[in-house]
Structure formats: C-alpha cells, structure tokens
Structure 1
Amino acid sequence: MLTLSILGFLAERPMHAYELRRVISDLIGHSRPVSDGALYPAINRLRAAGHLERQAEPGDGAPTRQVLRITDSGRAELLRRLSEPKASEITDSSSYFTLLAFLSQLPEPEQQAAVLRRRLDFLTRPASFFSRSGEPARIKDVEDRYRRGMLITARAANRAERAWLEETLHELTTETSTRT
C-alpha cells in the first residue's frame, strides 16, 4: 500500500519526500506507521523502475530541494494497480481504504465500478468473528460484552459501507448510461 500511496499522491502533484511522508502518514499512518526506513527504499525502487523521477528545484532562500514527480510509466503502473487490485486489497479494510483514496484516478466510471463491485461482493458474503462451522455468530448468543461489541460494531460498519457502495455504484451506472 506504500507503493500505491506514493504513486497516488504524486499523480496528484509533485512533492518532496518529506511532504510525501506527511501526506502518506495522514492517510495510512494510523494503521501502519511510515518510517524513513520504509519510504526511501520504496521511492528508490520506484525510481529504478522508471516510475518516478527526482528533480532539483531552488528553494525560496533555502537549499535546493529534491522534488519527486510521477512519470508516464508510473501513471500507467498506478492505473494498473487501481484497476487490478489483489484480493487482499479488496478484503483487508486498511488496504482497501488506501485503494479507495485514489480510485478517482481511474478515468472511466466502469473501471471504478468494477473495483467497488468486488468490495461489495466481498461484504455480502457471510462472515463473522466467532463463527461456528462457517455460520456467523448471532449477537444474542455471544455472552462476552466486548466480543458482542466487536460484532455489533463490525456489522454496523458493514451495513453502512454496503449502503454507500450500492449508492455509489448506482451513481456510476447513471453517469455511464448518460454518456452513451
């Protein structure tokens, strides 16, 4: 998700590594801290692959700054990652939300809808904490108040996300049909 975040933010605008680390931390730092030890090797790998370039820009009364820019190859890689997410990027909430943060970069509503449909399909499958023999646990059968709280919270979040996905898919379908 670090690679996707780097490409996604640099597709929005060029920035220096310090600023890039800050915006990535704002997005994913709550679940996965972004250290220099992870960020700079990822930037170097993307530069070596031709997805990023670094250019020196004069600072305003300060030393020259190294600004990172996405290349055409990097933009193509970003679009590939967004349109063909791995299964784990759909099922893991933190990964999915990072993907969602940049989904508007996909140019076609149909592409965006395809990703959202995958997430909706995942959310509509029966699943639960504390399932028995593949059957979701019933809230009333969970005696521990904290485990019951986990179920109540997870199910409420699932309902809310499914409602948003259905609404957004309807909007994307409407946009697509009015364009043709």
Structure 2
Amino acid sequence: MWIDVLLLANLAKQSSHGYELRKRVEEGTGYALSNNSLYPALRRFSEAGAVLRNPEPQEGRPPRNVYTITEVGRELLHDMLADLPAELAGDEPEFLARLAHFDWLTVDERAVVLDARRHALEQRRDRLIALERGSSEGWGQEALREAARRVHAELDWLAGIHARATGAPPISAPPQEKERR
C-alpha cells in the first residue's frame, strides 16, 4: 500500500509517464520499484478513476502514457494517508510514506497515524522484553537487546514528531520503561 501512497503523492505534484514516475519514487525513497509493481498500480488507479492515462506521441516510437491524478485520486490519496491500519502500523515503509506527506493531513489525522505507529512499537517493545527475559545469556539475547534499544529510540523520536505534528506535549514512555533502559 505504501507504493500506492508514493505513486499518487508524486502524481499529485506532477503528471508524468511511468518511467519518470518510477525514477522519482526511487530517488525520493531509496527503494527500488519494479515495473511489476508500478504498472499494475497505475492500471488499478486508472480503472478506479483516480488517474487519467493520456497517450503522448513520440517521434519514431509508440506513444507513451502520461498519468495525471484526478480529484478522485486526490481523495483516495488523502484517505490512504490518514489511515494507518493496525496490521500495517508496524511496517516502517508504510509509516514513513505517510509521515513524508503529513502536510496533506489535519492535526487530528496526523495524531491518528502517529498513535497507530506508537501502539505498534509499544507492542513490539513488550514482545522483545518478554523474549529477552526468557532467553539465556548469549548472542540471541544481545540481538534482542539491540532490537529493543532501536524500538525505544524510535518511540522517543516519535514523541518529538507527535509534538511537532500536533502541537501537543510529547507522549513519553511510562516511567517504569524509562527506568528499565
């Protein structure tokens, strides 16, 4: 779904043909985007009325399709940005695709997305802590500690992002969690 968000967000900035769109997404994210992901998504968007596909003539070559977002596509993009389902909230690209386009969202919509991510991270943190307690000393426990450290760091970062995105005071980890670090 994050690919859909990035494709529509790029088309909202500028109409383009498929190759150009793929390159912009790749340059903006660092993720490689295959034609097997790109063109089926564009076809779906076209069939749903979210984008218009206009053939552009090229000298000595077949016409290339230029894609333009429609008002339906802008509404779809907004709805995808404002919704971060629990099953996707733990996925980093899903969250970052939305965060990168927070300027499309209201303060309340930003808070919903941030809260979904925070909840997913808290669940991951709790699982890691339980696994660490149940493991014997060794490399496995070292890996669990590092994974937990990364989750704690993102939770701290997320609290600052929440404050910037909503104007609300930062949400911090419960005191017992801070003491455990």
1:113 pairs with 2:111: yes
Report 1:18-167 matches (<5 A): 18-30=19-31, 33-56=32-55, 66-106=65-105, 108-125=106-123, 127=125, 131=129, 135=130, 137=132, 142-144=137-139, 147=143, 150-151=146-147, 153-155=149-151, 157-167=153-163
CA RMSD of aligned residues (A): 3.2
Secondary structure (helix, strand or coil) at the match of 1:85 reads coil
The list of structure 1 runs, each at least 4 consecutive aligned residues, that deviate by more than 6 angstroms after superposition, is 61-64
Give the equivalent residue in structure 1 for 2:18.
17
Q: TM-score scaled to structure 2, two decimals?
A: 0.72
* Alpha-carbon separation, structure 2, partners of 1:90 and 1:130: 17
Residue aligning to 1:2:
3
**Post-superposition offset of 1:167:** 2.5
TM-score after normalising by structure 1: 0.72
C-alpha displacement of 1:43: 0.5
Contact 1:50 1:71 in 2 (8 A): yes
Question: Is the partner of 2:100 in helix, strand or coil?
Answer: helix
Identity %: 25
Question: 1:47 Cα deviation (Å)?
Answer: 0.4
- Secondary structure of the residue aligned to 2:132 is coil
Count of aligned pairs = 165
Aligned-partner SS, 1:53: strand
Flag structure 2 segments of 5+ consecutive residues without an equivalent.
Answer: 170-181
Sort the Cα spacing of 1:62 and 1:109 in 2 relative to 1 into closer, same or farther, 3 A.
farther
The alpha carbon displacement at 1:169 in A equals: 4.4
Q: Which structure 1 residue ranges, 5 or more long, are not aligned?
A: 175-180
